[in-house]
Amino acid sequence: MQYPEPIARLIDSYTKLPGIGIKSATRLAIHTMEMAEQDVTGFAQALISVKRDLHFCSICGNFTETDPCAICADPDRDQSTIIVVEEVKDLMAIENAGEYRGLYHVLHGVLSPLNGKGPDDINIDTLVKRLQSHDEIEEIIVATNANAEGEATAMYLSRLLKPAGIRVSRLATGLSVGSDIDYADQITLIKAVEGRTLL
């Protein structure tokens, strides 16, 4: 179907979001048309505000309005541990779990030689500078994804940081709660056995 130009542009804009195909984008565009004008205006202003008002924390790389971000500026956080994550969304997931009270570092990507991404293309230099200027950091917890790029990044960080005498650990991986063993792939089962805990 040939849509009027404003709707076609909106559909095209929605398809640029991750996980949104043409059908979902069309539904979102039609829903947007049916919204009250003040709600659409508020939505548009929120999008503009995200781009204008947020930037990366100069310490950890998190999204923030102020520098440093609220997590880095919080004196009650455990200053001895840093969880290293690939993206801000990973930081948010760990933070929302509510158990971890240390610091973070966002790499904004992973090592991927096939895609031309090396150590200089992700936020590793800032992490090294942090460690050089803060003696109280005792452990780096690498929380990259359990895929080839995530594992390569974890190994690189381990080799880079261990000579400085800092403990480098990796998040446990394996079977998710509620999953059946017979549905798990081989790598997941191997990681589950390696990451076993005492009962």
- Among residues of the chain, what percentage have pLDDT more than 70? 97
Tens of pLDDT, residues 122-172: 999 999 999 998 889 999 999 998 888 998 999 999 999 988 889 999 888
Superfamily of domain 5-53: RecR Domain 1 (1.10.8.420)
Q: How far apart are CA 144 and CA 161, in angstroms?
A: 16
Angle at 83 between CA 197 and CA 78, to 5 degrees: 95
Q: What is the mean pLDDT of residues 71-78?
A: 97
For the chain, how far is it from start to end, CA to CA, in angstroms? 61
**Band of residue 63 on the pLDDT scale cut at 50, 70, 90:** very high
Q: Return contacts of 40-48, CB within 8 angstroms, 24+ apart.
A: none
> Is the pLDDT score of 181 beyond 80?
no
Q: Which of 62, 64, 68, 69 is nearest to 83 (CA)?
A: 62
Where along the chain do its domains lie?
5-53, 76-170
**Band of residue 105 on the pLDDT scale cut at 50, 70, 90:** very high
The topology (CATH level 3) of 76-170 is Dna Topoisomerase Vi A Subunit; Chain: A, domain 2 (3.40.1360)
Chain Cα centroid distance, residue 127:
15
Read off φ and ψ for residue 195, nearest 5 degrees.
Answer: -95, 20
**Band of residue 199 on the pLDDT scale cut at 50, 70, 90:** low
Average pLDDT, the chain: 91
| Contact assessment for residue 79 and residue 136, using Cβ atoms and an 8 Å cutoff | yes
| Contact assessment for residue 171 and residue 141, using Cβ atoms and an 8 Å cutoff | yes
pTM value is 0.84
How confident is the model at residue 191, as a pLDDT? 77
**Band of residue 188 on the pLDDT scale cut at 50, 70, 90:** confident
